Structure 1
């Protein structure tokens, strides 16, 4: 030891050179909070998402939700604004596609076949043109909840990003959208930007804000804490220097290895500054205790001897505390959640650095600059106050041992009850405060539209054309209906089946007679009979009949020669039955309504549902064919293969793009269903995924593989890993702490004593989480390992000093008092420093970090109190052999014999 510190100046120079080198790497650190980086590269959810993007392209979408407060979204000025916005958004770099009320595809039927055109080809000039847009919207339910709401007060613009864009590109897109929207500020319309890319971008922005505010704040808090503890320049400067160096080293090494900063790693600088000071505190505290007992001036040699004595005396418990802390954080390296894994690794590196610097740099500086750092005896009052507090603590608990243990047992029972209430749900958007812009945007979109959380269901056939089979298409359609009917959080299910149904419907529009083509005029005060559209009795008598819009000759073309993309729909070629213009009596009208009602599954119909039933009965605009072609008789086909050919014929005529939903425009073998969910809750996503699995298992035909993928699925995967990672890290860290303590004292019982205060503090932590409604998420999942890594220091320092005192006497009162007056003070200083340091996280922009700061602060209190109360009570009651005076004498004699 003496030889090492003979080169104190060299130690100082080497450490500062290394610090400068690592500081140079810091600008290379990048921020990234993409959901996929939370998972290992080979995780099934991440693999499924990559495969989905390879087939269908990127699926990440930002959403601009529009709220019309005074008018409706169908106001002509609002439609014009949406059209202008759409054009501008399409020109943003890295935007792949934009869909809105103005340019969304509308599939219609004409005499020439299918027509695909924008919903609003031109800006409407009058109420009739607005009504036409409204009619189109209502005629196809794929738009409902996406482009309009029931009250027509809200809409959204969906901005799909190019595949594979990095976080920087997403930031550019997001802020460009913000700039564009600034030019459209008005009283009537309010805009909200939502979607997972927006969440990712804002996580990074708020992280930078956190780092800029919290690091100076935690440094200030720790400085104040150190000053109040020592009231001496050395006691303030040296510990804070240690932690700043360790922080620079840890982050510099992260930069060298190309590890991105995430919301989780925001905690690293705060943690190292708050925790790393502990080792310096113990050395400084014991150093000042030693020089306080000396009289007069200290020579450089005397000062050096004191430093070496302190390092020798405190070195073992400090090193042991550091190692166990490294183990506590290092246990997080077993996590499969990558940011938590890296947090554990680089926090452990930072703690190791803080330990090395504390036991080398601090003694070296104390030796080199002994005069300036010589202790000034000016805090006797403070020392006396702290001693009185510790004495009062001892006297109170020493006289109430059984009561203290009983109270501890009650706390343990209550904590176990609280643990049962803990919910695991790590929701990215809920990491922001409720009043933040992104939370408000997400809430508006989920409350008014179909939802921003997307779960993708991938269906894969075993051959080309497998997805035009009417069997699988019908089951896909029914799966969508099942999810919508059974899960209230499901806002919309969109699939290839929706487009097949629409194409089938428009290709079966009834042929209009010349009288139907005439405009119908309505008089305001006309009678019921004059104003009601009439239908012939011949038509109403055939409600149960099915009719095909194609003649046998026409439909057979799909199976024979699909090279001809024009399918004519002349009245001479097709057999159509539909609404007639003949008068319908009131009795016949009542019969129509009743027959429609008989088709309803339930009687609590909305007006929209009732009109749909009427339309189906009359085949109004082909509504009777708004289905997957499945019935052979209805479509005059002899086999399912011919129905499949019919569907392929539709695809041949369709001029729009279905790349988002199928892998090939003709004869697709793979398809994607997009489930919009009105909440980001992983608990909800899990129940929906289970519903998909159960329905597919029972109903889907053989030969199809069904998987789920996307952001919602990856978020659920992260959520599932939290619990397993939490359990694994707790078991590993407690086990290794137990082993280290047991080996250090060569006693199994010592290992048990070492983890008792930790176990109590962990139970208190999870109990509080349950009672306070704090979720186990990506932030709070780290509390346990942090509590073990830091809290073990208090136990080790108390045990070490207790052991030293026990060597001197068997009077347990004297042993306990002396332990409290030496290590007890350092424990208090350490706990206050760490707790106040972590309390800075209460001012974080992120809810999980706020909860982390609160829980770690409370855990520091509970673990330090347990170390100074429950631990000495148990030691004095049980009197374990591993720490008795006689066992130490025997160990010394055995050691002397061996020597």
Structure 2
């Protein structure tokens, strides 16, 4: 070291140039907290989600919920507000589509067939017109829980973003949306903005706030503690320089390599400031201990000699401490969670930088200052009170060794009891505090609508058109109903089956209701009714009775009542060719234009009165259709509609019954579904991969609970239910909810792996350093003690194991091992000189023990600054690290010397 430190000016120049280079890289750093960044690129859930993005479009969206305090959402004034808001949002760049009550598509039936029109073609001016709109949307439950709440006071404006936007473009779009919506907030209107994109943007904003306020805060705390300990401004400046340089190197390297800054990596500068100070503290603490031995002036040569002496004595201990710390953080590189992996790698680099600066820059500057000041008078900064306190502590526990061991065992036993209560859960939204705007918005939407947590399910066939088959559509519909009925947390499910069922319904309106439906449609409605485009009629008019007894009308009171059936379409295009004949034409029929006959169920007779007895019959018949005993009024009305076939409610289903639909084979019904898709003019690209003959379909499942534990149960149920699907159909579950669940699953595996790697590396380093396997075991005892207490505390206090707290163990090992190594080296040095174990322990405590306690206090105080973070994971991280610093330092100063003095291992008294 003496030869190296002769080039002190060159050392200062090189370190300064490296620091300047990385300093200029800092503005390039980008923030990204999308759930996808938590998973490696080859993770199946991420690959599947990217695949669905390619097929059905990206799922980036922002949800704006609007609540009206006066009148409901269908009132003329409120609909006008929604219309203006939707129009202004559509004008924002990078927005692909805006869906609201005022512009959403609505499928209706008429005498001419199926009509696809906007739900609100003209804004209503009267209450009667508003009720008509309300009646229309209530007739189809597809928009329930998304475009209207149960109390009809709130609605959502669903905003889809363009594909391929950068994080900066998403952020700009979010703030433009917020600027527009802010203009609509008043005494009558509340607006909430949520969704995955909003969460990511606001998480980045809060991260910058953390960095802006916490870094100066922790620097201030560090300055105060350093000055109280050293009572020298120079020591404060040198140590502060060390941590700032290491932080610039670590973050600057991230920016240079294009590594995004995430919530996890926000901790890096805080950690380096708190932890990186340790090496400077140990070097300067021993340097000033030597200074305190002098009386009067110290010459330049003596100052330089003391610097070299300090580095020679502390170099090995500081190197081993840095090496084990780097290993502790480096073990996080084994994590499959990308932000934790990046955190581990760049924190390790920062720690290495802090060691280099402490070992080379601080001594170089001390030598340069000595040359500049010539001689200076030694200033005694000893703290006899502190030394006396350490001696009293040693005298106290040295006489109570057995008691200390018993107390330690009791503490460990109590901690183990908390293990079973540890909850592993990482919902991103719950990282925000309850009073934040985004958390309140998410809670409002989850309470009033279907939910913001999205799970995506892709059903895939083998050939084009496989997703038109009634069997797979029936099972998909069954899965949707099953999830909604079995999980309160499933707010809604959506897929192409909702459209097929609605189209099947409107194409089967009873004849007497067609005129009513037609009278409500506008002349400018988009009609998909030209039979010359789709072939001849679905089925001919006939007077036969229904072949399905179970689906007969309530009003068929006896066998003499003739079934009233009618055709949705009058047969046209008599000259059509064979390949454009009825959907139900058998593939084996040779006659072109021949059609299978079937009859429509009649609807309720508007002129017929029923007796009280018949009314009770009707209610009982409706209730027998129910899947559960306790139903609400809305569910009862739907069952009555099905029983009476009001507006073809009995046909709100996947057409799968051959007898009911007069079809000869499932292929005929598959053709029927294809024709429905042909008739529909709207876009369903987000649900199927082909407008006419899809082989892939997407199902969207909205969860009103962000917990990964809920997502886990729902996903398992989906996979179990998929066993009912026909053969040759594959099912893939992904989406933000699934990726968050997978990240959650990786936490436990990564935690276990990184802890094991950390312990093994620490064991090997200590064992090699002292050339003893036993020494390695002694090295991990204090660490194991502090980690057991940490996890026990998490269980007892209900602190979840999430992406933040998952790092506590490795951080604790990386930092806490310093205390063990410094104590072992100092104890070893004293043990060689002295056989009196009481004196050996006392001298170790009053020298190295002093630095250990001070270092633990400074690190704990630094991490406690995280209690003021905007995020719960960082708050808990700060708290738990502070606790582990306390427990690991106390264990190093009490349990470790007690064990050394009781068992007297040979390695501690050997010379190396």
TM-score w.r.t. length of structure 2:
0.92
Please state if 1:614 is matched with 2:640: yes
**2:681 matches 1:655:** yes
- Judged with a 3 Å threshold, the aligned counterparts in structure 2 of structure 1 residues 542 and 617 are, in CA distance, closer, same or farther, namely farther
CA distance in 2, matches of 1:214, 1:589: 71
**Alignment map for 1:717-866 (pairs within 5 Å):** 717-866=742-891
Q: Give the equivalent residue in structure 2 for 1:123.
A: 123
The match for 2:737 among 702, 709, 712 is 712
Among 646, 651, 661, the residue aligned to 1:635: 661
The CA deviation at 1:542 is 7.3
Give CA-to-partner distance per residue, 1:134-163, whole Å, 9 cap, x none: 111210111111111221111111101112
For the Cα contact (< 8 Å) 1:292–1:375, is it kept in 2? no
2:581 and 2:298 map into 1 onto residues whose CA distance is 102
Whether the aligned pair in 1 keeps the contact of 2:300 and 2:374 (CA below 8 Å) is no
The offset of 1:68, in angstroms, is 2.0
Deviation at 1:487, TM superposition (A): 1.0
Partner in structure 2 of residue 355 of structure 1: 355
Contact 2:511 2:565 (8 Å CA) reproduced: no
Distance 1:536 1:421, change over 3 A: closer
- Higher mean displacement: 544-553 or 283-292: 544-553
> What displacement does 1:340 show?
0.6
> Which residue of the partner structure matches residue 434 of structure 1?
434
Secondary structure of the corresponding residue to residue 763 of structure 1: helix
1:443 and 2:443 aligned: yes
Q: Secondary structure at the match of 1:605?
A: coil
Q: Tell me by how many angstroms 1:778 deviates.
A: 0.7
Superposition deviation, residue 548 in structure 1: 6.9
Do residues 600 (structure 1) and 657 (structure 2) align? Answer: no
Report the CA distance shift for 1:451/1:252 in structure 2 as closer, same or farther (over 3 A). Answer: same
Distance in 1 (alpha carbons) for counterparts of 2:823 and 2:212: 37
- Residue in 2 that maps onto 1:219: 219
8 A Cα contact 1:547 1:634, kept in partner: no
Give the equivalent residue in structure 2 for 1:624. 650
Q: CA separation in 2, counterparts of 1:872 and 1:314?
A: 21
How many Å apart are 1:858 and its aligned residue? 0.8
Residues 1:516 and 1:765: Cα distance change in structure 2 (over 3 Å): closer
1:182 maps onto 2:182 in alignment: yes
Do the aligned residues in 1 keep the contact of 2:711 with 2:741 (CA within 8 Å)?
A: yes
Q: Deviations over 1:497-533 (max 9, x none)?
A: 111000000001111279979999xxxxxxxxxxxxx
With normalisation by structure 1, the TM-score equals 0.93
**TM-aligned CA deviation for residue 420 of structure 1:** 1.5
In 1, the alpha carbon distance for the partners of 2:553 and 2:41 equals 66
262-271 or 389-398: bigger deviation? 389-398
CA distance in 1, matches of 2:111, 2:356: 84
Structure 1 position 541, deviation (Å):
4.4
Deviation at 1:594, TM superposition (A): 2.3
Cα gap change, 1:42/1:120 in structure 2, threshold over 3 Å: closer, same or farther? same
Please say if residues 579 and 620 of structure 1, whose CA atoms lie closer than 8 Å, have aligned partners that are also in contact.
Answer: yes
For 1:71 and 1:466, the matched residues in 2 are separated by 47
| Mapping for residues 146-165 of structure 1, pairs under 5 Å | 146-165=146-165
- The DSSP-based 3-state class of the residue aligned with 1:377 is coil
Q: Which residue of 2 aligns with 1:584?
A: 609
CA distance in 1 between counterparts of 2:580 and 2:514 reads 32
Against the structure 1 CA distance between its residues 418 and 376, is the aligned structure 2 distance closer, same or farther, given a 3 Å change threshold?
farther
Instruction: Please tell me whether the aligned partners of residues 110 and 517 of structure 2 are also in contact (alpha carbons under 8 angstroms).
Output: no
> Cα deviation per residue 1:259-303 (whole Å; 9 max; x = unaligned)?
111111100000001000000000000000001112221111111
Aligned-pair CA distance for 1:128: 1.2
Query: For 1:15-34, what aligned pairs fall within 5 Å after superposition?
Result: 15-34=15-34
Between the aligned partners of 2:887 and 2:553, the Cα distance in structure 1 is 84
Partner of 2:252: 252
Aligned to 1:312, what secondary structure does the other structure show?
A: helix
Work out the CA distance in 2 between the residues paired with 1:187 and 1:168: 33
Aligned to 2:307: 307
Q: Secondary structure at the match of 1:124?
A: coil
1:676 corresponds to 2:702: yes
Structure 2: tracts of 5 or more residues without a match: 521-551, 584-596
Residue by residue over 1:216-249, the C-alpha shift from the partner in whole angstroms, topping out at 9 and shown as x without a partner, is 1111111111001111112211111111111111
Q: Does 1:686 align with 2:717?
A: no
For the structure 1 residues 802 and 479, does the alpha-carbon distance in structure 2 shift closer, same or farther, using more than 3 Å as the test? same
Residue aligning to 2:898: 873
Aligned length: 865
- Deviation at residue 600 of structure 1 after TM alignment: 2.4
C-alpha distance after superposition, 1:696-737 (max 9, x if no partner)? 02x110010000111111111111111100000000011000
CA deviations 1:756-793 (Å, max 9, x no partner) are: 00001111111111111111111101110100000000
Displacement of 1:573 in angstroms is 11
Task: Name the SS for the 2:48 alignment partner.
Answer: helix
- Counterpart-to-counterpart distance in 2, 1:514 and 1:312: 97
Distance 2:280 2:714 in 1: 52
CA distance in 1, matches of 2:625, 2:54: 43
Residue 520 of structure 2 is aligned to residue 495 of structure 1: no
1:559 Cα shift? 12
Q: 1:361 to 1:516 in 2, by over 3 A?
A: closer
Tell me what 2:542 maps to: none
Over aligned residues, Cα RMSD in angstroms? 2.5
Contact preservation (8 Å) 1:422, 1:774: yes
Change (3 A) 1:406 1:508: same
Paired residue for 1:392?
392
Deviation at 1:551, TM superposition (A): 7.6
Following superposition, the deviation at residue 682 of structure 1 comes to: 0.6
Distance in 1 (CA, whole Å) between partners of 2:69 and 2:901 is 72
Partner of 2:535: none
Q: CA separation in 1, counterparts of 2:671 and 2:180?
A: 46
Distance in 1 of aligned mates of 2:385 and 2:404:
24
More displaced stretch, 729-738 vs 583-592: 583-592
Q: Is 1:645 aligned with 2:647?
A: no
Alpha carbons 2:758, 2:810 under 8 Å: kept: yes
Offset, 1:494: 0.4
Whether the 8 Å CA contact 2:458–2:731 is kept in 1: the answer is yes
- Structure 1 residues 555 and 857: alpha-carbon distance in aligned structure 2, compared to 1, 3 A threshold: farther
Equivalences for 1:346-425 in 2 at 5 Å? 346-370=346-370, 371=373, 376-377=378-379, 379-380=381-382, 383-425=383-425
Counterpart secondary structure, 2:800: coil
Q: Is the 8 A contact 2:511 2:568 kept in 1?
A: no
Q: CA deviation at 1:71?
A: 2.3
Q: Are the aligned partners of 2:244 and 2:273 in contact in 1 as well (CA < 8 Å)? A: yes
Question: What's the secondary structure of 2:512's corresponding residue?
Answer: coil
Once the 2 structures are TM-superposed, how far is the Cα of residue 105 of structure 1 from its aligned partner?
A: 1.0
The offset of 1:538, in angstroms, is: 5.6
In the alignment, the residues of structure 2 paired with residue 372 and residue 654 of structure 1 have an alpha-carbon distance, to the nearest angstrom, of 91
Deviation at 1:434, TM superposition (A): 0.7
Given the superposition, is the C-alpha separation of residues 367 and 701 from structure 1 closer, same or farther in structure 2, using an over 3 Å criterion? same
Structure 1, residues 327-359: CA drift from partner, whole Å, max 9, x if none? 000000001111110110110000001001101
- Contact in 2 for aligned 1:779/1:848 (Cα 8 Å): yes
Matches of residues 32-181 of structure 1 in structure 2 within 5 Å? 32-181=32-181
Relative distance call for 1:583 and 1:231 in structure 2 (3 A) is same
Between 552-561 and 626-635, report the one with greater CA deviation. 552-561
Q: Deviations for 1:783-835, whole angstroms, at most 9, x for unmatched residues? A: 10100000000000000000000011110000000000110111011111111
